[in-house]
Chain A
Amino acid sequence: MKQKKTLLTLIAILILFVFVFIADQTLDSYKMRILNLCAIYVILGLSMNLINGFTGLFSLGHAGFMAVGAYTTAILTMPDIVKTQNFFMTPMMKPLDTLHVPFFLALLAGGILAGVVGYLIGAPALRLRGDYLAIATLGFAEIIRVVFTNTQSITNGALGLKGIPVSTNIWWTFGLALVTVLIIGSLINSSYGRAFKAIREDEIAAESMGINLFKHKVIAFTIGAFFAGIGGGLLGSLLGTIDPLMFRFFLTFNVLLIIILGGMGSITGTIISAIIITIGGEALRFLDESMTIGSLVIPGISGMRMVVFSALLMIVVIFFNHGIMGTKEFTWDGLFAKFAKKPLAKGGNKQ
């Protein structure tokens, strides 16, 4: 049975790669960008779900970690000539202006630096709980943004960075999304994952089981920040240009929307809703443009499609307050049971 499931997983991964290959060959650049964004939002959603969904820490600092990852990756991959073009107000700081490394290393550095920042923020802020933690992390994310706006010789301040080499392609985004799913999935199923969930359910009981609350919260927060940094780095090098205004609360809200819609504490739910939200966001673009219905002309209001998402979020929160998947996961066992129309061998819920 176990071998069968491993085989099925491998086949699913193979199908994914065949799909990526075909998409790479046939789709136009607009559709490719949407697919890339889907995979990036899968990474971002999973990293935030680890913190908010699995460990139950209500953190709103995601945009800050993404900014760290995006800037690090961008600075480490931009060629010298582009750097001098960008930094016409104040020249770039000394070792950075000629420093560059391959894309993967830059991405990794972005993730690690975001992780370090996550640790430095988490260590003091994780003593807070609930809403207070949300406010503190939101504040720290804004601090990161303001610092980036003012460190002219490192980040080029409010002017932002332009001409970042576009190294992100569909192989990178889907490959890294897959790696993220595998890493976070195995983390959740390890004894660390059980400890995270125990902390989410009842801190006092968790502590009396011998779980070091602070240590496990910081671990979850730091790993979440690391993957947020990777996601940010991919995003920056997909768009080719970044500036501090990109990393406002709105970005955090987008990711939060994904995990609430998908289910706080579900990996497969996050994947499904990341794809729905990203594709939906593009598909609903017609709402932003002016429309003619018969003789009626409705002028375009930009941001109209976000209203749809807000309404969707409200409906989810009121009527399906566990999101698409809740804390459940899609599993092969669940699928077999569905086909066999028999209860699971283990008993319990159908998943």
Chain B
Amino acid sequence: MLKIENLSVAYGGIEALKGISLEVEEGKIVTLVGANGAGKSTMLRSIVGLVKPKAGSITYQGKNLFAVKRHDLVKNGIALVPEGRRVFPDMTVLENLKIGAFTRKDHQEIKADLEWIYTLFPRLKEREWQAAGTLSGGEQQMLAVGRALMSRPKLLMMDEPSLGLAPLIIKDIFNIIRKIHSQGMTILLIEQNANAALHLADVGYVIETGRITLKGTGKELLDNEDVKKAYLGESVVAKK
């Protein structure tokens, strides 16, 4: 569905990505894990067109993604849950969700999708008329996911959905990601929380200083000695 080949990105003279290849197949959860500064966000930023790559290509359903304008990504079925949530703080929860469906004109369907979001996140239904800025971090993350889903994407990209959330809430969020995926959504998940992400993923990539160092199914990577050492910490795995 989404295919990245030999992508290189440089900020000034410093290469953030050094020829990365990655593929997201339809109906799968693909996760990209890596430490701070490994280039995870840079990769996502080049998919949405916020940075211009030096070399390489990104194709989405056979289409060159560099030729698509940033605001047209949603029309092409790509939705982003941005890092740090970025909900619209002074707008109500409902308005935030409606903005998610901005490019759609089918009002009946939008209403049905709103109900669907509310069944996924009953908490949002309770807070419908509250300003999004007054929600807790976890609720804001739910809202950000719900808002992205309102565009009925084919591919949902999530940038660090667990950032700054309590472990219990992270568990909720990941359960919801699993639920959305079981309803047929393709998901590209970018995470620092390797343990949680790899448990969820069909395919995992490990990125280190701009290069993909490992690729495999989520389970393979969880069992990999190097991954254990670098990202999971022996103790976490020992408990299993």
Instruction: Tell me the complex Cα distance, A347–B87, Å.
Output: 20
Q: Of A38-46, A78-86, A164-172, A192-200, which stretch is located at the interface?
A: A192-200
Q: From residue 264 to 283 of chain A, which have CB atoms closer than 8 A to chain B?
A: 265
Instruction: Tell me the complex Cα distance, A205–B48, Å.
Output: 12
B111 at the interface (CB under 8 A from A): no
Q: From residue 14 to 64 of chain B, which have CB atoms closer than 8 A to chain A?
A: 48, 50
CB distance from A210 to the nearest CB of B (A): 3
Main secondary structure of the interface of B (DSSP, over half): loop
Known A191-B102, A194-B98, A198-B99; contact A211-B129, beta-carbon cutoff 8 A = no
Select B82's contact among A197, A208, A348, beta carbons within 8 Å: A208
A183 at the interface (CB under 8 A from B): no
B-side contacts of A349, CB under 8 Å: 131
Q: Of B69-77, B176-184, B188-196, B198-206, which stretch is located at the interface?
A: B69-77
Q: Is the CB of B92 within 8 A of A348?
A: yes
A-side contacts of B80, CB under 8 Å: 208
Q: Is the CB of B102 within 8 A of A194?
A: yes
A-side contacts of B103, CB under 8 Å: 209-210
Instruction: Tell me the complex Cα distance, A198–B50, Å.
Output: 19
CB distance from B122 to the nearest CB of A (A): 15
A-side contacts of B82, CB under 8 Å: 204-205, 208
CB distance from A204 to the nearest CB of B (A): 7
Select B128's contact among A204, A211, A347, beta carbons within 8 Å: A347
Chain A contributes a number of interface residues (CB within 8 A of B) equal to: 24
Instruction: Tell me the complex Cα distance, A44–B130, Å.
Output: 31
Q: Is the CB of A201 within 8 A of B90?
A: yes
Instruction: Tell me the complex Cα distance, A212–B69, Å.
Output: 9
Select B88's contact among A201, A213, A265, beta carbons within 8 Å: A201
B-side contacts of A346, CB under 8 Å: 128-129
CB distance from B5 to the nearest CB of A (A): 24
A-side contacts of B147, CB under 8 Å: 209
CB distance from B60 to the nearest CB of A (A): 15
Instruction: Tell me the complex Cα distance, A80–B71, Å.
Output: 52
A241 at the interface (CB under 8 A from B): no
CB distance from A215 to the nearest CB of B (A): 8
A-side contacts of B89, CB under 8 Å: 201-202
A288 at the interface (CB under 8 A from B): no
Known A208-B82, A209-B102; contact A347-B129, beta-carbon cutoff 8 A = yes
A254 at the interface (CB under 8 A from B): no
Q: From residue 183 to 229 of chain A, which have CB atoms closer than 8 A to chain B?
A: 191, 194-195, 197-198, 201-202, 204-213
B95 at the interface (CB under 8 A from A): yes
Q: Is the CB of A211 within 8 A of B88?
A: no
Q: Specify which of A206, A207, A346 lies most central, judged by the most chain B CB atoms within 10 Å of its CB.
A: A207
Known A198-B91, A198-B99, A205-B86; contact A212-B71, beta-carbon cutoff 8 A = yes
Instruction: Tell me the complex Cα distance, A191–B69, Å.
Output: 21
Q: Is the CB of B130 within 8 A of A348?
A: yes
Instruction: Tell me the complex Cα distance, A212–B48, Å.
Output: 14
Q: Find the A residue at minimum CB distance from B92.
A: A348
B100 at the interface (CB under 8 A from A): yes
Q: Is the CB of B71 within 8 A of A210?
A: yes
Known A210-B71, A210-B103; contact A205-B87, beta-carbon cutoff 8 A = yes
Q: Is the CB of B129 within 8 A of A348?
A: yes
B162 at the interface (CB under 8 A from A): no
B186 at the interface (CB under 8 A from A): no
Instruction: Tell me the complex Cα distance, A194–B129, Å.
Output: 15
Q: Is the CB of A207 within 8 A of B71?
A: yes
B-side contacts of A213, CB under 8 Å: 71
Instruction: Tell me the complex Cα distance, A202–B86, Å.
Output: 7
Which 3 pairs of residues, A with B, have the shortest CB-CB distance?
Answer: A210-B74, A348-B129, A205-B86
Question: Contact residues of B with A, CB < 8 Å?
Answer: 48, 50, 69-75, 79-80, 82, 86-92, 95, 98-100, 102-103, 128-131, 147, 151
A-B contacts, 15 listed (Cβ < 8 Å): A191-B98, A191-B102, A194-B98, A198-B102, A202-B86, A202-B88, A208-B79, A209-B102, A209-B103, A209-B151, A210-B72, A211-B102, A213-B71, A265-B90, A347-B128
